[in-house]
Structure formats: structure tokens, C-alpha cells
Amino acid sequence: MLLLDERVFRMGFKTFLGIKKRSWKRSAKKFIAKVKRTFPQYPWEDFLRISEHFRGRELSSLPERAFLFRLSHDLPSDAKVVEIGSWLGASSCLLAWGLKGTKAKMYAIDNFRGNASDGSARVRYQERMSKLKTDTTKDIFDRNIAYFNMENRVTAIVNDSLQAAKNFCEPPHSIDLVFIDGDHSEEATKNDITAWLPFAKPCGIVVFHDFTSNHGVPQAVWWAIKQSYFSELIGIYGSTIAFKVNKGA
């Protein structure tokens, strides 16, 4: 009887997961149909395929991810992108897929161990690591990049942000887009801005995730605005905000 109950439970759980997946697909397709009317020039079927691959593992909403995808797709041919904080590679894949040109390059910078200066953030990441049954997400990241055949376009730099900046292989003022989504404390985000802004091209793009969070990101972004680092607000979608870099920054 117990075995039968267990089988019934498993069948019910699989049915529940199937319903959730179908519900996500309906919502995603509805979103794509809507965004296509406003922005018909983007390859939304590719966006949907990547988003579906990361369904349930992403840390941002569909509108936020679509914003990143559009920003990357709008960059010139052979553009270069730096991402601070890559986790499992969801945003990495979206950013890299949007790039054009055989020389386009994406640098994904992360320690892949969930290290953070804030204690509560460390606990959250360790809980996620425990669920993933690993002490590093690098192997998962690599598999996701390989799944979309982007090994030649994406280079993972396994290091903390500031150390990676000190040893970065690209020259100053050479990066078209910098996506900052690493350590979310105010001090760490300020340090990321200070370390990576010199690599951004004049009038390049800097994007922040969790701008509306209760971490230190909002304070760090307002600090950067007061320093006149940015010349223009490009857009806000959910907790993702993007700026154009001031030529004199």
C-alpha cells in the first residue's frame, strides 16, 4: 500500500511539474508576442529558447532579461562585454547570444563559489549551492555555455572582480557594455564601478542588476550618478537599470 501511495505521489508531482512548465511556456509566449509588437527587429525565438533552458534557475524576470538581450543585440559588430557575477550563466548566455560578428567577445567574471562580503548574502548563496549539491557553479556554467555552443565567444574568468580587473587582458576604453551583478553591498558595488568603468568605451553602456533591492546597489548607483559617471539613462526594467557612460568618466 505504501509503495502504491509513493507511486501516486510521484505521478502527481510529475503532473504538477508538467503543469508548471506549460504555465511558464504560456506566460513566456504571451510576453514574446507582446514584446515582438514593440521590438520586432530582435530574434525573440532565440531569447525564448535560452530563457526556457534556465527556467526555474534564473534570478531575474523576463522583461529584465529581454532588456539585456536587446542591449547586447544593439551593440556594434565585434563588440566586447564584461559581466561581473555570472552564477549559472543565464545572463551570460543572453548577452553573448545577442552579440554580432566573429570577433565579438564576452568575459564572465565570477568566483563561482557564492562568496560575498555581506553575511546574509553568503548564507543565501550557500543555501543555493547546497540545493545544487556543489561548492562551485563553474561546471554548471561551463555546461550551459557549451549547450549553446558559445565556448569560443565566452571566456570565464574565475576570480573576484577587483583582482580580475587588475589582471584584465583588454585595454582601457575597449569594452562596449559592462554588466555589474556581483557582490551587492554598497562598498563592493562602488569598487566594481571604480575598477571597471575605466575599461568602458566613452558612451559605452553600464548595466546594474538589483537596483531596486534592499542591498547596497541603489546607494552605489546614486553615488556614481553624483560623480557624473553617466551621461544618460538608457532604461529601467524591473530591478535592472542601464546608463550611457560619460565621455569624461
Domain limits, the chain:
1-38, 45-245
Q: Cα(124)–Cα(71) distance, rounded to whole angstroms?
A: 29
Q: Which three cell numbers stand for residue 228?
A: 557624473
Q: Is 81 helix (H, G, I), strand (E, B) or coil?
A: strand
What's the chain's Rg over C-alpha atoms?
19
Q: Which three cell numbers stand for residue 133?
A: 549539491
Residue ranges of E strands in the chain:
80-84, 105-110, 154-158, 175-180, 200-208, 230-237, 240-245
Q: Tell me: the pLDDT tens digits for 173-230?
A: 999 999 999 988 999 999 999 999 999 999 999 999 999 887 899 999 999 999 999 9
Q: Match 553615488 to its residue by C-alpha cell.
A: 223
Q: Tell me: the pLDDT tens digits for 79-121?
A: 999 999 999 999 999 999 999 999 999 999 999 987 777 666 6
pTM over 0.85: yes
Short-list 229, 89, 66, CA closest to 156: 89
Domain spanning 45-245: CATH 3.40.50.150: yes
Confidence of residue 23 (pLDDT cuts 50, 70, 90): confident
Q: Tell me: the pLDDT tens digits for 119-144?
A: 666 777 778 777 888 889 999 999 99
- Which pLDDT does position 59 carry in this prediction? 65
The residue that leads in pLDDT, 59 or 2, is: 59
pLDDT, averaged across the chain? 89
What region does 86 belong to: left with phi over 0, alpha with psi -120 to 50, or beta?
A: alpha
